[in-house]
Amino acid sequence: MYAVDEKRNSAMTIRDWMGRFEGIHNVAKRMARMGQCFSSTEQAVRVLPNEVLDVPDIVGGAHPVSGKPYVFSDGVGMMSVPLAEEVYKVMKLKDRPSAIQIRYAGAKGMLCVNPELPDCKLLCLRPSMRKFPCTSSEYLEVIKISAPRSVTLNRPLITILEQLGVTTDTFLRLQQEMILEFTDALVQESTAIEVLSAWSKLPLPYQDLSSAGFQLTLDPFFRSLLLAVYRNAVAGLRYKTRIALPVDRARNMLGVVDTTEKLQYGQVFVQCTEMRCANIEYSTPPERKVITGTVLVTKCPCLHPGDVRKFIAVDVPELHHVVDCIVFPGQGRRPHPDEMAGSDLDGDEYIVIWEPCLFFPGNNQTPMTFSDRNPDPENKEITIEDMIQFLCNYIKNDSIGILSNAHLAWADQEREGIYSRRCLALAEKISVCLDFAKNGRTAFLRRDERPPLYPDFMEKGSHKITYRSDRALGVLYRTCRSLEAAVGRLGHRHVDPGRCHALVVPGWEEYRDSALRALNEYNASLRRILIQYGIASEGEVMACMVNTFDAYHSAQSDKLNMEDLVEKMTKFLTENTREVFFRELLEELEGHSIDDESERRARKHRKASAWYMVTYDPEGQDTLFSFPWCIADVLVEVLRSSDPQDRVWYPNILHWKVNLFAQNNDGLAEVDDVPGLVGETFKSAYCIIKKWLADETLLGQQEASALTKPGLCSDCLLTVFKEFLENHELSSLSSPKGKVMMRKRHRVLLPVAVAKAEQTALDNKCRGQQGPAAQPAGVSQVNGCIKESEDQPSESEPDLASTAQQNGHGDSDSYRHINGSESCAAYECLNAKEAPCVGTLVVSFLRWCLKQHKLPRKACPAGACAGGGYSGQTHRLPMVTLKAYSSLAVSLDPCHLSLPCDPAYHEPHQDIIERDPVRIQIANPAMHKKLKDNLDEVRQLLMRWSGVQDVQIQRQDESEDSYIVVTSTGRDWQIWFLEELLLQRWLPQAIDCRDVLRFLKENKQSVPLWGSKNLTSSSAARQTY
């Protein structure tokens, strides 16, 4: 219902203003056209009727059922360069998009710039773009623009690619690369900038802050943003299997049609621009790259085997003006967009991939034939009651989610997968339902199409019978879930951040009171958002990546809607806070009649410093730190005007920290000789790795052992370590042949210019006399950054800072890497032909193992490894290193490498939780009998093997499809491993012989990331790690 407003507008007059719909005699189509008027747009420029040119559609081929010709230009028109330039100017676009999705006077679709059009303001519309007559608007309204967009794989796409022939290992490697990138961002400054710029929705000058000498990776606010992005990425992997692909290998692009007639059927034109950081002014336009060769293209949702297709990307000079779009040919037997999920070109986005490992073997599958039948007209006049009834039917019949879940489940468990009769029928039904809002036709799930079982990655175990999926999605899910169980609750401890001395401006105390008032108002507003929606952390709110919110809002709205709402609220709060700062500053300057530019700037800097200082007050009780970053641009000015000696910046904090704690580890005071390694640094690094793997139970005894004995032997571990050194061209530095004299202490990763004056006094001043328990000896903190004490270099150890300055690498304005590069390879300094520090070697070994994904298969020379060779054990090494590296990066606590704990960052064990029940189908008669006769013994074995505190098992034997309901209490990783055990087909045999480790090894399945002590010793039943 809509009441008449003060301008005498009623529901009827508003509908009349929207356009003329009386010519549309189908209620579904009419309401879809009316809904077109409510799509979110940004009004751009006025286009008069005499500036609009009607051009015909490009047609060809014939539909196999109806015989009607296909429309190759369905939904895409053209615009002249002058019109495009006017749109860019009005919308204040820095880059010039080649295509925009628009709404104009009852027309909707895409407009692509065409330089061949006359040099005047001209809009070209096609009949396929005209939806209904409208004369009430002459403004071009923009819905979406073409731009560089990243790509994430999803479950339906992975399912199709796997069953088309792409291996599971390919997806596992891509997922591991993604996890590694987001983990690197927690400790590596350059990656942190890239990840925050690309993924966080908070527009801050991250690059400017870092280049001015501010350490993002140790500041509590920016670290909370990084943790929010990291957890959002891991959650996306767990719940949706969203694997982000590198932007130089895949893009999301709007589709347009070729008007030059150069492209042939089977060809496409793809040109992308470099992905740049937002909110940064660039002096040069973005670089362009034309993709040539095979490309993989699809449109979501993709369900049919023919929805994912390979094309040949070719270079067409006449199309070089089109960027960040995929251009399809305007000729052939059928439009390529229609071959992929029945798509068109009115604004659909297409996934374009040129990563060769994702190309499936063989030819494209036959595409699905989609109906082109228009909705049946109705013989009666459409009334308001008809519209209301249709809306109710739409809500009741919205079964896309149910059908999609059924398709995903059947595709996983049917032997024929996506080619099975059920899956093909479900794909067709989903296609019908997607067009329900336009044609009123729908489809429902038949009884025989309801899956009796669901794969574990769908996480329906609380109310559906679950099985362990052996396909790619199952493997990916269990890898991610295992990681999340190990590190999911780390990184929550609040650590006193200290203050960045470079942001301490003398005289800031003058603004303390006004800064405190603004801080209290800001924090009160931010805390209301946190409490109102039950959001866990400040970082989630400010990054607009809500990973946890209360049950009420979880039920009322989905994650995307919640994030959109939070983004609007935080944007409003930030803008208001900035307005307070500049309003108060302007009032002060005008009140004191201050015209001198240097004095005005000095007062602004003092006020900005006060905002920072009151927020980071060590005596303060608040743990919210986003307030001063509302004026981040002013803080950048303060940093740039500060004394360079006050700036502290480390390329990678984890390398230094591991190195420091390794040096302070008494257990490494005297390192035994290691065959083939020369130098205390390499020996120490190897010994740390060896001890850590022994604690993880991956390193076994050097003796022939049964399958139940865990791990690698020392010889094979040393072989892996040497391969790592050879890979990084360090073998000459570590081998006896090199005869390289190792420096006593290495500073390859330290900044090239480090302040040397009274660091201890400065640190105490900034941190408010932080107790020594939080800082090991030789450590100081500025901006939360750990810093090595600066003793005088000996004659045999040249001062790297002085050397770098002499070589031109140590200017007074910024800190740089030794190699002058921010690349991943450079920051590790492993190819610098210099002897790296222990921390660099250890952390880089972890990253190397992760990148290997599968280590080379070689037989153990001594036959001492479990299974007779390290080929049977090294598959566990990447998994264990994934857990260790992620735990280190998230918590910053070296204890995850079996080094001493950092008291400031060490976190206690995870909380004990009770998990939702899990339903497991029992088809094995022996297991039935075991549960009936020896239920308590089964409970005790499961508790001992998993380490959970309690297990409750209820049997349901009413039908042939009998199952058990298992409820458990314990820590997250213990419960996760219990669920893993319950889904194993060999569990009945393991229970019979009371030995689970043998079956894990025989089936080449990973022992849990946290080790296997409780799998081999009954005394470890309650052991926690």
476-487 pLDDT per residue, tens: 998 888 888 777
- C-alpha pair distances (Å), 291 with each of 271, 311, 347, 896: 6, 12, 22, 44
pTM score: 0.82
- Domain 913-1020's class? alpha beta
Binning pLDDT at 50, 70 and 90, where does residue 873 land? low
In whole angstroms, what separates CA 253 from the centre of its chain? 19
Separation of alpha carbons 257 and 70, rounded Å: 13
Whole-number pLDDT of residue 671: 60
Separation of alpha carbons 149 and 198, rounded Å: 10
Whole-number pLDDT of residue 819: 28
Binning pLDDT at 50, 70 and 90, where does residue 866 land? low
In whole angstroms, what separates CA 550 from the centre of its chain? 22
Has residue 746 got a pLDDT over 50? Answer: no
**Using one digit for the tens of pLDDT, what is the confidence trace for 321-364?**
999 999 999 999 999 999 998 888 988 999 999 999 999 999 99
CA angle, 379 then 383 then 385, to 5° = 120
- Token reading at 481: 């879930």
How many residues appear in the chain? 1025
**Using one digit for the tens of pLDDT, what is the confidence trace for 629-685?**
999 999 999 999 988 877 766 778 888 888 888 777 665 555 667 777 777 888 888
- Token reading at 519: 């801080």
Whole-number pLDDT of residue 585: 94
- 408 three-class SS: helix
- C-alpha pair distances (Å), 795 with each of 694, 743, 791: 39, 11, 13
Whole-number pLDDT of residue 835: 59
Whole-number pLDDT of residue 304: 95
Q: What is the mean pLDDT of residues 138-167?
A: 94
Whole-number pLDDT of residue 776: 34
- C-alpha pair distances (Å), 771 with each of 496, 765, 782, 783, 791: 11, 13, 15, 16, 22
Has residue 420 got a pLDDT over 50? Answer: yes
Whole-number pLDDT of residue 900: 83
**Number of Cβ within a 10 Å radius of residue 618:** 13
Has residue 743 got a pLDDT over 60? Answer: no
Residue 405 gets the label, from left (phi > 0), alpha (psi -120 to 50) or beta, of alpha
CB-count burial class (<10 Å; 0-12, 13-18, 19+) for 857: exposed
**Using one digit for the tens of pLDDT, what is the confidence trace for 207-234?**
899 888 898 988 999 999 999 999 999 9
Has residue 926 got a pLDDT over 90? Answer: no
Whole-number pLDDT of residue 815: 29
Q: Looking up tokens 């390192």, which residue turns up?
A: 671
Whole-number pLDDT of residue 782: 35
**Using one digit for the tens of pLDDT, what is the confidence trace for 259-283?**
999 999 999 999 999 887 665 667 7
Whole-number pLDDT of residue 827: 33
Separation of alpha carbons 123 and 84, rounded Å: 9
Whole-number pLDDT of residue 551: 58
Which residue type occupies 886?
S
Which residue type occupies 802?
S
**Using one digit for the tens of pLDDT, what is the confidence trace for 685-730?**
888 898 888 877 677 644 333 333 446 778 888 888 888 888 776 6
476 neighbors 169 (Cβ within 8 angstroms): no
Has residue 761 got a pLDDT over 70? Answer: no
Q: What is the mean pLDDT of residues 555-564?
A: 69
Q: What is the mean pLDDT of residues 403-432?
A: 94
625 neighbors 860 (Cβ within 8 angstroms): no
Better-scored residue on pLDDT, 138 or 496: 138
Q: Where are the chain's structural domains?
A: 39-145, 250-358, 384-487, 506-641, 653-897, 913-1020
206 neighbors 214 (Cβ within 8 angstroms): no
Cβ neighbours of residue 450 closer than 8 Å, sequence gap 6 or more: 406
Separation of alpha carbons 408 and 426, rounded Å: 10
Whole-number pLDDT of residue 182: 94
Whole-number pLDDT of residue 552: 59
Has residue 315 got a pLDDT over 60? Answer: yes
**Using one digit for the tens of pLDDT, what is the confidence trace for 899-912?**
888 777 777 656 67
Better-scored residue on pLDDT, 372 or 787: 372
Whole-number pLDDT of residue 903: 77
Span of 7-16, 56-65, 157-166, 412-421 with lowest mean pLDDT? 7-16
Has residue 250 got a pLDDT over 90? Answer: yes
Binning pLDDT at 50, 70 and 90, where does residue 193 land? very high
Question: Which candidate, 562, 486, 523, places its Cα nearest to that of 221?
Answer: 523
Better-scored residue on pLDDT, 895 or 182: 182
Question: Which candidate, 881, 885, 884, 905, places its Cα nearest to that of 893?
Answer: 905
- Token reading at 468: 């362990």
Has residue 751 got a pLDDT over 80? Answer: no
Whole-number pLDDT of residue 1024: 27
Q: What are phi and psi for residue 440, nearest 5 degrees?
A: 80, 0
CA angle, 861 then 867 then 868, to 5° = 20
Has residue 86 got a pLDDT over 60? Answer: yes
Candidates 2.60.40, 2.40.40, 1.10.101, 3.30.160; CATH matching 250-358: 2.40.40
Has residue 832 got a pLDDT over 60? Answer: no
- Token reading at 290: 């034309």
226 neighbors 217 (Cβ within 8 angstroms): yes
Task: Identify the architecture of domain 39-145 in CATH.
Answer: Beta Barrel (2.40)
741 neighbors 796 (Cβ within 8 angstroms): no
Whole-number pLDDT of residue 767: 34
Whole-number pLDDT of residue 538: 92
Separation of alpha carbons 816 and 42, rounded Å: 43
Binning pLDDT at 50, 70 and 90, where does residue 83 land? very high
Question: Which candidate, 610, 605, 642, 612, places its Cα nearest to that of 629?
Answer: 612
Domains 39-145 and 250-358 share a fold: yes
Q: What is the mean pLDDT of residues 31-58?
A: 81
Cβ neighbours of residue 570 closer than 8 Å, sequence gap 6 or more: 202, 529, 541, 542, 544
- 46 three-class SS: strand
Mean pLDDT of the chain: 78
Could you give the angle at which helices 714-727 and 838-852 cross, rounded to 10 degrees?
90
